[in-house]
Amino acid sequence: MKITPEMVKHVAELARLELAGKDRRKMDKQMTNILEYVSLLDELDTTGVPPTSHVIEVENVFREDEVKPSLPVGKGLANAPESVGTAFKVPKIIDG
Amino acid sequence: MKLYQETIHSLHDKLKAGDITSRQITESVLERIDAVDEKVRAFITRMDELALQMADAADERFRKGESLGSLDGIPVALKDIFLTEGILTTCGSRILENFVAPYDGTAVSQLKMEGAVFVGKTNMDEFAMGSSTENSGFFPTHNPWDLERVPGGSSGGSAATVAAGEAIFALGTDTGGSIRQPASHCGVVGIKPTYGRVSRYGVIAFASSLDQVGPITRDVMDGAILLKAISGHDPADSTSANVPVPDYPSLLTGDVEGMKAGLPAEYFEEGLDPQVEEIVRKAVADLEKRGMEIVPVSLPSTKYAVATYYIIAPAEASSNLARYDGVRFGVRYPDAKGLTEMYKKTRSRGFGPEVQRRIMLGTFALSAGYYDAYYGKAQRVRTIIRREFDEAFTKADVILSPTAPTPAFPLGEKVDDPLQMYLTDICTIPVNIAGVAAMSVPCGLTSSGLPVGLHVISSPFTEDLMLNVAYAYEQERGEFPRCPL
């Protein structure tokens, strides 16, 4: 599958990445190469084969809804680039 | 032999007898790091002071007769993917270059409870994405056997420390071969346990359905000791398996008489270095001498494994790495005008090229209109690959192959060709896809003195069989040469 510059732009937007001109062109080519390689899978007939999302049998794991000690607020905020009181601080959300 | 060259079990015996102290071992290791790490560059963070404190605490326990067990007082290096409370944990990424972990991961707490001495956090490919440790956001690590070559990856720092005597043992993680391939390239033992055998709590996530924690050690006995220490169910990781943990060390008998080893033709095809093939076939013959029966097995979809992996792993990674948004931890781009710009600039500057490539691939594979053709298809192929392993294990107790198709390659050789780099994991990736167990044990040196690994694969939760086959091989092989550094 050929990856066009428009597709790279769209995917980068979804992934919240900003690719500069040269990097974006390199990305078109590398993604095209890798996707060409993975198209090998089209040879295999997978009709009626169920998908594997997990290799071991996992069932829902339930527990009692009890309050247990968790990370104290101070520790949770210690790595934050910016915080205020007991909250993480971010730049303004509505652009423009 | 110097203390830093010994094994967990030999040091433990001496500690127990009171012949040496943990401080002596730890000082020997720290001096060795001083002497060689300028060349190897295995560590991102050293913690000499903490190491000596932990060593003294261990010595105190031995003096009082309260030793905690086989790992007490033994120096370990931890891949920088493991959260370690109060200690820098970067995952090899600039985006986490200032991240101090707020708690210990489960494997790390288990090592602490057993008294192991932490000497440092090791270099790795950024977010474990790579096969050479050249994708580290900081610097590449060099192979102690040949400093011009890569140590393998992503746990290249951990494997290099064990090979170079910069730790007695190490912890790594393996998503597509990241423990076994560097172990093979560095001439040490590396184990990827069954998916679910070891808790992933407090391990920075790459691809959650593939990631697994495991030992890197000097011999199989040490691997068995360490695997026992870190295995078991953990309520904090709902994917960890509630399956009893055997006493692996005591099950190493070396008796493999009558056991069946499957040789899959698909792992001995083109692309395999002739010297690697010769050395691995000789190792298989050594096991035959010990009474193993060698039988052909077929894993016909092997050639689809790398392609399957490069859809599933990036897809899961693109989701896991969404958390690096400059809000709760890590580095934030400071001058953005609004939130969206802050996200984009933080992520584009913080992640290296390989990580961005995989996030892009994964986001694409999961995006509207392409999900079924890529991610859905890969999950179906995953089922086929699993079924083939199930079928092979009805004919053989273990499967043998090379761990990597070539010995360690020169630094810089594949770094600009992602696809060639991906193909170096062709023998190890199918194991993660199927969730089975596997390990690498050193089985020879090429004519230029580079280590080669024998890959032993076993069915889910039969690590005891796999370890015993590797142990039997090790007995037949005899002492492995030490790296010349």
Q: Which residues of B touch A50 (CB under 8 A)?
A: 380, 383
Q: Which residues of A touch B363 (CB under 8 A)?
A: 11, 14-15
Q: Among all chains, which residue has been given the structure tokens 């995917």?
A: A11
Q: Assess if residue B322 is contained within a domain.
A: no
Q: What angle do CA B201, B96, B55 make, to 5 degrees?
A: 60
Give the range of the structural domain holding residue A33, as residue numbers without chain letter: 5-43
What whole-number distance in Å separates Cα of residue B425 and Cα of residue B326? 32
> Across the interface, do A16 and B374 touch by the CB < 8 Å criterion?
no
Nearest residue of B to residue A55, measured between CA atoms: B435
Residues 6+ apart with CB under 8 A from B79: B121, B122, B124, B155, B157, B158, B170, B171, B172, B173
If one counts the domains in chain B, the total is 1
Q: What is the pTM of this model?
A: 0.97
Percentage above 70 pLDDT, chain A: 98
Taking a contact as any Cβ pair under 8 Å apart, which residues of chain A between 14 and 53 contact chain B? 14-19, 23, 27, 30-31, 33-35, 37-44, 46, 49-53
> Across the interface, do A55 and B311 touch by the CB < 8 Å criterion?
no
What whole-number distance in Å separates Cα of residue B281 and Cα of residue B121? 36
DSSP states of B116-148 as a string? PEEEEEE--SGGG--SSSTT-SS----BTTBTT
pLDDT tens column, B297-348: 999 999 999 999 999 999 999 999 999 999 999 999 998 989 999 999 999 9
Nearest residue of B to residue A53, measured between CA atoms: B379
pLDDT over 80 at A59, yes or no: no
Percentage above 90 pLDDT, chain B: 96
Q: Assess if residue A38 is contained within a domain.
A: yes
Taking a contact as any Cβ pair under 8 Å apart, which residues of chain A between 56 and 85 contact chain B? 56, 58, 61, 63, 71, 75-76, 78-82
**Could you tell me the CA-to-CA distances from B398 to B192, B216, B243, B309, B388 in Å, in that order?**
14, 20, 20, 23, 14
Q: Assess if residue B105 is contained within a domain.
A: yes
Q: Assess if residue A81 is contained within a domain.
A: no
What whole-number distance in Å separates Cα of residue B437 and Cα of residue B358? 25
Relative orientation angle of helices B463-477 and B274-289, to the nearest 10 degrees: 100
Q: Assess if residue B186 is contained within a domain.
A: yes
Q: Assess if residue A50 is contained within a domain.
A: no
Q: Assess if residue B214 is contained within a domain.
A: yes
Residue A3: per-residue pLDDT? 83
pLDDT tens column, B14-46: 999 999 999 999 999 999 999 999 999 999 999
* Residues facing residue B444 across a β-bridge: B452
Residue B258: per-residue pLDDT? 97
Confidence of residue A95 (pLDDT cuts 50, 70, 90): low
Confidence of residue B417 (pLDDT cuts 50, 70, 90): confident
CATH number of the domain residue A39 falls in: 1.10.20.60
Q: Which residues of B are catalytic?
A: 79, 154, 178
> Across the interface, do B339 and A54 touch by the CB < 8 Å criterion?
no
Q: Assess if residue A49 is contained within a domain.
A: no
Q: Which residues of B touch A28 (CB under 8 A)?
A: none
> Across the interface, do A16 and B347 touch by the CB < 8 Å criterion?
yes
Q: What angle do CA B345, B348, B349 make, to 5 degrees?
A: 80
If one counts the domains in chain A, the total is 1
Confidence of residue A41 (pLDDT cuts 50, 70, 90): very high
Q: Assess if residue A48 is contained within a domain.
A: no
Give the range of the structural domain holding residue B130, as residue numbers without chain letter: 3-257+403-411+437-477
Dihedral pair phi/psi, residue B126, rounded to 5°: -50, 125
Q: How far apart are the first and last CA of chain A?
A: 37
Please report which helix (H) or strand (E) contains residue B441, including its range.
strand B437-445
CATH number of the domain residue B109 falls in: 3.90.1300.10
* Cα B55 versus chain centre, distance: 25
Which residue of A54, A63, A79 is in closest CB contact with B328?
A79
Q: Assess if residue A68 is contained within a domain.
A: no
Confidence of residue A22 (pLDDT cuts 50, 70, 90): confident
Q: Which of B144, B311, B37, B18 is nearest to A39 (CA)?
A: B311
Asked if B252 is an interface residue toward chain A (Cβ–Cβ < 8 A), one would say no
Q: How far is B176 from chain A (nearest CA, A)?
A: 14
pLDDT over 80 at A21, yes or no: no
pLDDT over 60 at A96, yes or no: no
DSSP states of B36-97 as a string? HHHHH--EEEE-HHHHHHHHHHHHHHHHHT----TTTT-EEEEETTB--TTSB--TT-GGGT
Please report which helix (H) or strand (E) contains residue B263, including its range.
strand B260-264
At A83 the three-state DSSP class reads strand
Q: How many CB atoms lie within 10 A of CB A60?
A: 5
Mean pLDDT of chain B: 97
Asked if B434 is an interface residue toward chain A (Cβ–Cβ < 8 A), one would say yes
pLDDT over 90 at B422, yes or no: no
pLDDT tens column, B179-199: 999 999 999 999 999 999 999
pLDDT over 60 at B266, yes or no: yes
Q: Assess if residue A32 is contained within a domain.
A: yes
Q: Assess if residue B200 is contained within a domain.
A: yes
Residue A56: per-residue pLDDT? 81
Q: Assess if residue A13 is contained within a domain.
A: yes
> Across the interface, do A51 and B382 touch by the CB < 8 Å criterion?
yes
Q: Assess if residue B153 is contained within a domain.
A: yes
Average pLDDT over residues B116-138: 98
pLDDT over 90 at B113, yes or no: yes
